[in-house]
């Protein structure tokens, strides 16, 4: 019997407000993977358990199922390092500013 990530994630006790979506492997598009690990948000203390699978075809480990982009924002506030705006990129500043205007 093949592993069903979407069915499995429902057994972890996540809030019903989470609308997980099943995805295929980001590298090869294969739809089957094996359970790799269950992760929790240790940094912010927000609830939720997330399943990572290992693709049976290429070995990539990725989150599946995942939250849609609209819902994942809840886990990343303005202090998240990737959201901080760097002001000075040295000699690359003009290129950075040009890219941000696109």
Residue 85 phi, psi (nearest 5): -95, 120
- Tell me the per-residue pLDDT of 10-36, one tens digit each, with 9 for 90 and over: 888 888 888 999 999 999 999 999 999
- Tell me the per-residue pLDDT of 42-73, one tens digit each, with 9 for 90 and over: 766 778 899 999 999 999 999 999 999 888 87
Q: What is the pTM of this model?
A: 0.70
Residue 26 phi, psi (nearest 5): -70, -20
- The alpha carbon dihedral of 29, 31, 32, 37 has a sign of positive
Token pair for residue 83? 């959201």
Token pair for residue 34? 């094996």
CA distances from 82 to 7, 9, 43 (A): 32, 27, 14
């Amino acid at each position: 019997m093949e592993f069903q990530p979407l069915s499995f994630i429902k057994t972890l006790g996540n809030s019903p407000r989470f609308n997980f979506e099943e995805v295929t492997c980001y590298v090869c598009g294969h739809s089957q993977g094996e359970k790799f690990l269950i992760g929790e948000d240790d940094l912010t203390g927000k609830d939720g358990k997330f399943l990572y699978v290992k693709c049976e075809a290429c070995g990539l480990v990725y989150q599946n199922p995942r939250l849609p982009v609209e819902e994942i924002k809840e886990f990343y506030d303005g202090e998240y390092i990737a959201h901080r705006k760097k002001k000075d990129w040295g000699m690359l500043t003009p290129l950075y500013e040009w890219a941000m205007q696109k």
